[in-house]
Copies of this chain bind each other. A is one copy, B any other.
Amino acid sequence: MTKYKLALLGFGNVGQAFAQLLLDKQEELKTRYNIEYSVSGIFTNRHGSAIDPDGLDIEAAVALGKAHANLNALSTIDSVKDSMDFIRGVKAEILFENSPVNYETGQPALDHIKLALEEGMHAITANKGPVVHGYHELTQLANSRNRKFYFESAVMDGAPIFSLFRSALPGARLLSFTGILNSTTNLILTRMEDDETFEQALSYTQSAGLAETDPSGDIDGWDASVKVAALATVLMDIPIKPVDVERQGIRGITSDDIRAAKAAGERWKLVCTCRREGSGLKTRVAPERVPIKSPLYNVMGSSSVVSFEMDVLSNLTIVENDPGPETTAYGLLADFINAVR
């Protein structure tokens, strides 16, 4: 039995769901994987932070998190100055980095993960930013320290995509992929089929907590472009940036467009495509009408899908239905187990 000290940077919906999942899976981790753990520290930007080298009371932390209360009361040491100070001081073996995504720079997650690896920790994140802005550098750094940089939840929540290629599909060369990778826009388009206007549907996704107050990251295709860049960088080994992706959002789609597609037995989807072209890639995020035969047609609401074309498998499609913070949390747990087993 090995006992691992964990540090959680970020403790919003996903961080709390992950802490709860750790509790729920505690026995199973012991019996199936010989893994024990304690949580040495939790850092938040707005609700304080707590470090206890002997292990925090996770249930108490989750309760404080849900109540939007300050975590400082749980700490056995003086409060830390900032996130970098937290990483240096927490004395953990694994950092779970769940700060908000920054499409343009990947910061501050990039610096957090770099420091964690330099400090000898495994670094696990649900954040797409450091994947597109630092995959090669961080992976090399991790390898040089015999540590792992894993990020299963960065694309399609907890659905196994990166680990699929890392472990289950050896010797396969990815030629192209097509998918629906942004939940918010797919939910908006789904609700527009039920006769909501774009504005009504957008407003619903905001009230449901899926879209931000400034929804441009989703509806202008940035989130989808980051995911395309992440998949291309990791799975095809061709690093591209979100700005390199030809990008068109769904602002232009009207209720009339939706009705016209429906009448033709088709559906509007924000389609992500990426294919090898020469030694490079052709990548695109744009609304498209997909026919009933498409593997994308039936993927509704906040669900997502990706179809992979490989040299050895003509078409393999993965669909994840109804994701939530718990699903993302599972991706972090899978990365944890895979990093240490």
Contacts and interface: CB of A to CB of B under 8 A. Distances in A.
Contacts of A28: 171, 173
A32 B172 CA distance: 11
The list of the 3 closest CB pairs from A to B, nearest first, reads A160-B168, A315-B321, A167-B167
A320 B315 contact: yes
A200 interface: no
A171 B170 CA distance: 22
Given A292-B298, A312-B158, A327-B312, A171 B320 contact: no
Contacts of A173: 28
Contact of A25 (B21, B171, B318, B338): B171
Contact of A330 (B32, B159, B172): B172
A334 B292 CA distance: 33
Interface in A159-194: 159-160, 163-164, 166-173
Contact of A318 (B171, B314, B316, B333): B316
A297 interface: yes
Q: How many copies does the complex hold?
A: 2
Contacts of A25: 171
A341 B170 contact: yes
A321 B317 contact: yes
Interface in A308-335: 312-322, 326-327, 330, 333-334
Contacts of A32: 171
Q: How many A residues are at the interface, by size bracket?
A: 35 or more
Given A159-B313, A159-B316, A317-B318, 17 more contacts: A21-B312, A32-B171, A33-B170, A33-B171, A158-B313, A163-B167, A163-B168, A164-B164, A170-B333, A171-B334, A171-B337, A292-B298, A294-B298, A312-B327, A316-B319, A316-B320, A318-B318
Interface of A: 21, 25, 28-29, 32-33, 158-160, 163-164, 166-173, 292-295, 297-298, 300, 312-322, 326-327, 330, 333-334, 337-338, 341
A316 B167 CA distance: 18
A160 B164 contact: yes
Given A160-B168, A164-B164, A170-B337, A315 B326 contact: no
A302 to B, nearest CB: 11
A168 B158 CA distance: 10
Contacts of A330: 171-172, 312-313
Nearest to A341: B170
A298 B319 CA distance: 13
Interface centre among A169, A173, A292, A300 (most CB of B within 10 A): A169
Contacts of A300: 293
23 contacts: A25-B171, A28-B171, A28-B173, A33-B171, A158-B312, A159-B316, A160-B164, A164-B164, A164-B168, A166-B168, A167-B168, A167-B338, A170-B333, A170-B338, A298-B298, A312-B333, A314-B322, A314-B327, A315-B319, A316-B321, A317-B319, A317-B320, A318-B318
